[in-house]
Amino acid sequence: MPTVYLNGTYLPAEEACVSVMDRGFLFGDGVYEVIPAYGGRLFRLDHHLQRLQDSLDGIRLDNPLSDDAWRGILDEVLERNRDRAGADNDQSVYLQVTRGSAARRDHAFPEQTTPTVFVFSNPITAPDPLIATRGISAITLDDIRWQYCNIKAITLLPNVLLRQQAADHNAAEALLVRHGRVIEGSASNVFVVREGVILTPPRSEQMLPGITRDLVLELAEQHALPYGETDIQADSLRQADEIWVTSSTREIVPVTRLDGAEVGDGRPGPAWKTVIGLYRDYKEAVRNGTQDQGL
């Protein structure tokens, strides 16, 4: 039975309840983060907490907790669910903050509400080993989401519909296109490799600033791998040598088929093999407590 945190209390998940008047339930008025933890050590927590703060600022909601308080709650949830995580104690932590409950339903911000804070964790499923040899399939779709995708909001219905459309085509991800440019995936950031150069779209309000995305760029710089941030035209995807998608829970995944056609030679490419190796080394250093994450 997993333990969750809800508004100051640790309790079994099935006993956790929120008001039907909570604005997260009625309006999707809230934000969230998903943070992996390896060996019980939270992965790049300071980056996730900064993104949480940016999202809260974006919806004009005060952060209900200090960074130290967040760390304490997240560590406690990880510890209480340690027995469910296996010997490696690898878990992903989900945290959500909504604007709280009000006496009546009204689109305008209510006065003097208390934010609802919810945290739970799940064991991390090991990556499918076939991905390293086969990669995944993806399709391109028009980006139907709102304009402030840099806010990690809980209003994810467009992403759900896009991801399901990919699943309907036996694809693992949808790459989203707006005004002819690739923005990101339905639940990931996007990279392409052209002539050995690793490229990803630049930050903007139209995309979520991914923690794994930023780490890939850091690793490329540290290891003198050619990289850049630039607009990626959807038409140019067909000429890419490699395509990857990245996220905190899926890490770095090679896309080997796009819209039914092979990407490159149809196998995970050499640049991906190099970068996933660097990423896994970094992750193991975090697990072993030898990687300084700036906390």
Query: What span, in angstroms and rounded, lies between the C-alpha atoms of 168 and 179?
Result: 24
| Residue pair 227/260 in contact by the 8 Å Cβ criterion | no
User: 205: Cβ–Cβ under 8 A, 6 or more apart, which residues?
Assistant: 147, 148, 149, 150
Which tokens sit at 281? 């080394």
User: 67: Cβ–Cβ under 8 A, 6 or more apart, which residues?
Assistant: 46, 49
From 44, 48, 152, 287, the catalytic residue:
152
Map tokens 């794994």 to a residue: 212
Query: What span, in angstroms and rounded, lies between the C-alpha atoms of 89 and 115?
Result: 30
Distance from the first to the final alpha carbon of the chain: 31
Q: How far is CA 156 from the centre of its chain?
A: 13
Handedness of CA 10, 12, 17, 18 (dihedral sign): positive
Query: What span, in angstroms and rounded, lies between the C-alpha atoms of 30 and 113?
Result: 13
Closest CA to 261 of 294, 280, 237, 290: 237
Query: What span, in angstroms and rounded, lies between the C-alpha atoms of 259 and 277?
Result: 27
Among this protein's residues, is 152 annotated catalytic?
yes
- Catalytic positions: 152
